[in-house]
Amino acid sequence: MIIDQLRIVGSPQTNKVMAGELSRLAVRALGRRPPEPKKAGTGQLLYPFDAGLAAVAATYLRTGTRAVWDLYRSDAQRLEPLYDDLVADVAADRRKWLPSPARISVEVRRMGDFAAGERQVVGTVKNAIVDGAAVRGIDVVVDAERPDVLVVARLDDDGSVVVAVDLGGGSMSQRGWRAAHGAAPLREHLAAVLLMLGRFDPRTDMLVDPMCGAGTIPIEGLLMARGAPRLARPARPGIPALDGAWPDERPLFGDSTPVVVGNDVELEALVAAKQNAAAAGVTGEIVWRRGDFRGLDTAEIEAIAAERGRRPGGLIIANPPYGERLDPIDLRLIYGALGDWCQQFRGWRAGFLVGNLDFERAFGMRPRVKKPLSNGPIRAYWYGYDL
């Protein structure tokens, strides 16, 4: 069956923030809001396929992990009928998703319940696309190193095989600037999710990360505020249907002047943060500070704000340690100290992603919102506060 939808994939519990970010980007880039998406679980959005919206998502979206164009669906349970379904669909399809000639690579995901191994599914999908395209006079070869188009086959929640084109060229969490990771890195797309959950508004908010580590939150905050492309040099698939839809590579909000502060007690972490900032092209645009967060007081923040011509106030975000490398008592003391430190920032908002249930009690304040939000394999929570 031929289908035609744009699928945005992210971490569980991020549907709302992904839809909100994509709407903001579409209004700026396209001058229109996208339609209300259908939700597939808690971490996927489905839109009617629109070339402009697809190109904007693949270029600018920071809260998602994948942007794909779903092309075909098959209810086949075995390889032979899957091949037959796909050959017929590709041969009948007049959408220009394949260049001519075309180099493709095929990947599979979530195929564990299908009655064949992954390599067999890859071979079947590849052969079906090659044979179906040949009916249309399109030559297709497999080139895993330099494909024009990355094709992805997956088993959907209802057991159907869905074949799609990956518009982002792989995981969209990778930005290309993070060479230095630090001890417990936060994935880039998840940092963007935290900024959306914290309602970061760079027009009025300062952004302060008191435990910045390798700088993921401050760097993402600055780039997201400007609507910068996800990649410095976007890797665009060779899809003729999108040729006229790709935006240029300028930031959508290039006039934004966010004030961002990153602090960490570890020198090694700050060295990594500055290296990452340089790779991201934002050297000198983030205020980096070394020291215990308890020494960063409102007077210093007010001085930074005055230097940048801004009023103090805004958002504190951090991804504090969860306890893998600290004694539980020391960890609770850190959480308590963080709560005490936040007390001085009256009128600010604060948000923390923490995978330790001791945090809420030790922090000492009742959160405005507590939301489950996994950090990779770690079950964590987002705690949002109005200080």
The total of other beta-carbon atoms located within 10 Å of residue 134's CB is: 14
Question: Residue 181 — very low, low, confident or very high, per pLDDT cuts 50/70/90?
Answer: low
Domains and CATH numbers, the chain: 2-166 (3.30.2130.30), 188-386 (3.40.50.150)
Mean local confidence (pLDDT), 150-174: 91
Confidence (pLDDT) at 167: 95
**CA 116/CA 80 separation, integer angstroms:** 11
Dump pLDDT digits (tens) for 100-136.
999 999 999 888 788 888 899 999 999 999 999 999 9
What is the tens place of the pLDDT at every residue in 285-298? 999 999 999 999 99
Residue whose tokens read 């951090």? 318
Q: Give CA–CA dist 216/222, Å, rounded.
A: 10
pLDDT (0 to 100) of residue 376: 78
Beta bridge partners of residue 198, listed in sequence order: none
Q: How far apart are alpha carbons 164 and 5 in whole angstroms?
A: 9
Closest by CA position to 38, among listed 49, 47, 29: 47
The number of helices, as runs of H, and strands, as runs of E, in the chain is 10, 15
Q: How far apart are CA 241 and CA 386, in angstroms?
A: 46
| CB-count burial class (<10 Å; 0-12, 13-18, 19+) for 7 | buried
Give pLDDT, residue 110.
Answer: 83
**For the chain, what is the largest distance between any 2 Cα atoms, rounded to a whole number of angstroms?**
71
For the segment 300-324, the average pLDDT, to the nearest whole number, is 90
pLDDT of residue 183: 61
Reading the block at residue 249, the tokens are 């590579």
Q: Which residues of 139-157 are buried (b: 16+ CB within 10 A; e: fewer)?
A: ebebeeeebbbbbbbbbee
pLDDT tops 80 at residue 280: yes
Tell which wins on pLDDT, 38 or 184.
38
Of the candidates 151, 149, 157, the residue with the CA atom closest to the CA atom of residue 43: 157
Amino acid 21: pLDDT: 98
pLDDT in tens, 11-53: 999 999 999 999 999 999 999 999 999 999 889 999 999 999 9
Cα 365 vs. chain centroid, distance in angstroms?
29
Residue 322 has pLDDT above 70, yes or no: yes
- Average pLDDT rounded to a whole number, residues 174-183: 77
